[in-house]
Amino acid sequence: MKILFTGDMVGSAGRQVFQRVTNRLRDEGRIDLVIANAENAAGGRGPSPEIVEALFAAGAAALTLGDHAWDDKNLTSLLETEPRLIRPANFPPAAAGRGMTTIETDEGPICIISLIGRVFLDPADCPFRAADRLIGMTKSKTILIDFHAEATSEKIALGRYLDGRVTAVLGTHTHVQTSDETILPNGTAYITDLGMTGPKDSVIGREVEPVIQRFITGMPQKFDTSNKDPALEGVILDIDIKTGKTRSIERIRERA
């Protein structure tokens, strides 16, 4: 099965390019299933329930979030009731929602786990131990992990820690795609960052000039989301769902 997993979706430009490119890749027979990180899908901030529903209607089989999970307070109740929408599992136990989901396909179940890093991010429980616990709970052979983290070392370390125990460890959060996609020695597919599904002509999704001014002056600026040069970034994984083994990982950047 060919699964497309896309990097942080940013704003309306990101939502549009997501819909157009996934439709085209389906028509071309290049993908069977789509999973998206939607953490910045609303003007660069966390999505509203309406945006989440629109992304499911556009064909996303599951959606992951990140540090922007709580931006829209209306999402809290949907996180409790919608199993296909997950936030990092290593948030405090009392946080709303869930960090793991299983979707059923013709070829078998696919477990998706969301984790968040602890380097240069707000305090969270240990993602390594959370992964151990959740992997022990699922009966699915195919396990995909979205590791939402800043530091490349933390992401590579989690990939190596889980190598051979999960199907894929896919980094998100930086909005910059890395060129290190690989199959690790024990068979786990890995990439440090999937990149961004949003406006490439930007500073990680925002209009360029206010970000420069912020750095030059140190003064607050309004950061509007850019709409220029949208692209979809992510990977296509070719997976044997019954064994959970990855045949290949292909990094993609596609414009509509």
List active site positions: 68
**Number of C-beta neighbours around residue 149 at 10 A:** 29
DSSP characters for 12-61? HHHHHHHHHHHHHHHHTTS-SEEEEE-TBTBTTBPPPHHHHHHHHHTT-S
Site string for Fe ion, 48-87 (x = CB under 5 A): ------------------xx--------------------
- Which tokens is 240 given? 């044997």
Least distance to Fe ion, CB of residue 109, Å: 27
- Which tokens is 176 given? 């910059």
Of the candidates 56, 40, 34, the residue with the CA atom closest to the CA atom of residue 8: 40
* Residue number closest to Fe ion, CB atom: 8
Least distance to Fe ion, CB of residue 172, Å: 7
- Kindly state whether residue 173 participates in binding Fe ion, applying the rule CB under 5 A: yes
The nearer residue to Fe ion, 6 or 140, going by C-beta atoms, is 6
Query: How big is the chain, counted in residues?
Result: 256
The nearer residue to Fe ion, 91 or 239, going by C-beta atoms, is 91
The nearer residue to Fe ion, 30 or 253, going by C-beta atoms, is 253
Least distance to Fe ion, CB of residue 147, Å: 11
Candidates 31-39, 120-128, 131-139, 243-251; binding stretch for Fe ion (CB under 5 A): 31-39
Distance CA(141)–CA(102), nearest Å, equals: 11
Distance CA(176)–CA(218), nearest Å, equals: 24
Candidates 1-9, 178-186, 187-195, 246-254; binding stretch for Fe ion (CB under 5 A): 1-9
Distant-in-sequence, close-in-space partners of 28: CB < 8 Å, separation ≥ 6: none
Of the candidates 90, 9, 89, 87, the residue with the CA atom closest to the CA atom of residue 42: 9
HSE-CB at 146 with a 13 A cutoff on CA atoms is 36
Distance CA(146)–CA(126), nearest Å, equals: 15
Candidates 6-14, 104-112, 154-162, 185-193; binding stretch for Fe ion (CB under 5 A): 6-14
- Kindly state whether residue 88 participates in binding Fe ion, applying the rule CB under 5 A: no
**From candidates 2, 3, 5, 8, binder to Fe ion by CB under 5 A:** 8
- Kindly state whether residue 198 participates in binding Fe ion, applying the rule CB under 5 A: no
The nearer residue to Fe ion, 125 or 238, going by C-beta atoms, is 125
The nearer residue to Fe ion, 47 or 244, going by C-beta atoms, is 47
Distance CA(155)–CA(170), nearest Å, equals: 8
**From candidates 6, 22, 40, 246, binder to Fe ion by CB under 5 A:** 40
The nearer residue to Fe ion, 32 or 39, going by C-beta atoms, is 39
Least distance to Fe ion, CB of residue 148, Å: 6
Q: Which residues bind Fe ion (CB under 5 A)?
A: 8, 39-40, 66-67, 173
